[in-house]
């Protein structure tokens, strides 16, 4: 979303008291959280009332901050159920939600309610899990959002545009396995296809 467009959105919020939903999605290492933090920071500079929420499952780095891979931080509420956001965000103009894929499936209803109340809701999350399957409530959020931004990482194997988060240890079948470059690599469609074939090693000799 470019800056002119974003300021148009701000104007719209003030003039029409209308809310909306924005989703920033992509693979791991694609800069989703950096983009969420950038938008939140701009709202803070404009003296809007902002709160960020993240699910209790994401314990990377810090319990009370949204931290991107480049170590930007913004204060956040760590909560276990998405319904809690309705109460906690009562007085907010802008609601940020990070790691949305880990929240329960009530999250789209919660976001709709917030937007209907006139709030700007900015959601960041992984659109696909490590198998390339749409993750948690993300597909529904993408459908109901007014604005969707898909960001990409760079494929670690070929330098192409990466949309997949490939898990390096394929023997671990948990959908939620937190980690960084030691556990995941961003891959493009071709490299992901090759990597997820049983004899993937043969393709890289
Ligand atoms: Zn590739």
Distance of CA 90 to CAs 50, 99, 149, 164, 184, Å? 11, 21, 26, 36, 37
Domain that holds residue 58: 3-153
What is the reported pLDDT for 166?
94
* Most confident segment among 15-19, 56-60, 86-90, 175-179: 86-90
Q: Is residue 25 part of a domain?
A: yes
User: Mean pLDDT throughout 1-10?
Assistant: 62
Q: Is residue 180 part of a domain?
A: no
Q: Which residues of 105-125 are buried (b: 16+ CB within 10 A; e: fewer)?
A: eebbebbbbbbeeebbbbbbb
pLDDT 10s digits, 30-58: 999 999 999 999 999 999 999 999 999 85
Task: Provide the CATH number for the domain around residue 21.
Answer: 3.40.50.300
Say how many domains are in the chain. 1
Based on the residue annotation, tell me whether 99 is a catalytic residue of this protein.
yes
Q: Is residue 50 part of a domain?
A: yes
95 has pLDDT over 50: yes
Q: Is residue 174 part of a domain?
A: no
Question: Residue 193 C-alpha to ligand 1 middle, in angstroms?
Answer: 9
Q: Is residue 188 part of a domain?
A: no
What is the reported pLDDT for 204?
44
Which residues, at least 6 apart from 96, have a Cβ–Cβ distance to it below 8 Å? 36, 39, 40, 50, 51, 52, 53, 66, 74, 76, 122, 123, 124
Question: Residue 155 C-alpha to ligand 1 middle, in angstroms?
Answer: 5
186 has pLDDT over 70: yes
pTM of the model: 0.84
Question: Residue 25 C-alpha to ligand 1 middle, in angstroms?
Answer: 19
Q: Is residue 36 part of a domain?
A: yes
Q: Is residue 186 part of a domain?
A: no
108 has pLDDT over 80: yes
* β-pairing verdict for 184-187 and 161-162: unpaired
Which of 22, 99, 173, 174 is an active site residue? Answer: 99
pLDDT 10s digits, 129-156: 999 999 999 999 999 999 999 999 999 9
More confident residue, 93 or 57: 93
Q: Residues within 5 Å of ion ligand 1 by Cβ?
A: 155, 157-158, 160, 188, 191
Question: Residue 147 C-alpha to ligand 1 middle, in angstroms?
Answer: 28
Q: Is residue 54 part of a domain?
A: yes
Residue 64 confidence class, pLDDT cut points 50, 70, 90:
low
What is the reported pLDDT for 205?
38
User: Mean pLDDT throughout 160-166?
Assistant: 96
13 has pLDDT over 70: no
Question: Residue 72 C-alpha to ligand 1 middle, in angstroms?
Answer: 28
User: Mean pLDDT throughout 93-108?
Assistant: 97
């Amino acid at each position: 979303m470019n800056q002119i467009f974003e300021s148009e959105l701000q104007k719209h919020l003030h003039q029409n008291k209308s809310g909306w939903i924005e989703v920033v999605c992509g693979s791991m290492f694609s800069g989703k959280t950096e983009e969420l933090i950038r938008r939140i920071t701009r709202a803070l500079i404009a003296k809007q009332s902002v709160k960020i929420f993240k699910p209790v499952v994401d314990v990377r780095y810090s319990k009370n901050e949204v931290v991107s891979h480049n170590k930007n931080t913004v204060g956040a509420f760590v909560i276990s159920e998405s319904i809690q956001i309705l109460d906690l965000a009562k007085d907010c103009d802008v609601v940020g939600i990070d790691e949305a894929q880990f929240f329960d499936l009530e999250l789209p209803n919660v976001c709709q309610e917030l937007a209907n109340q006139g709030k700007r809701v900015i959601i960041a999350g992984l659109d696909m899990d490590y198998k390339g399957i749409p993750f948690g409530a993300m597909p529904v959020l993408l459908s109901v959002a007014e604005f969707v931004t898909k960001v990409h990482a760079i494929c670690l194997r070929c330098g192409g545009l990466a949309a997949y988060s490939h898990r390096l240890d394929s023997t671990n079948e948990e959908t939620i396995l937190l980690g960084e470059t030691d556990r995941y690599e961003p891959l493009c469609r071709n490299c992901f296809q090759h990597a997820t074939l049983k004899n993937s090693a043969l393709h890289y000799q």
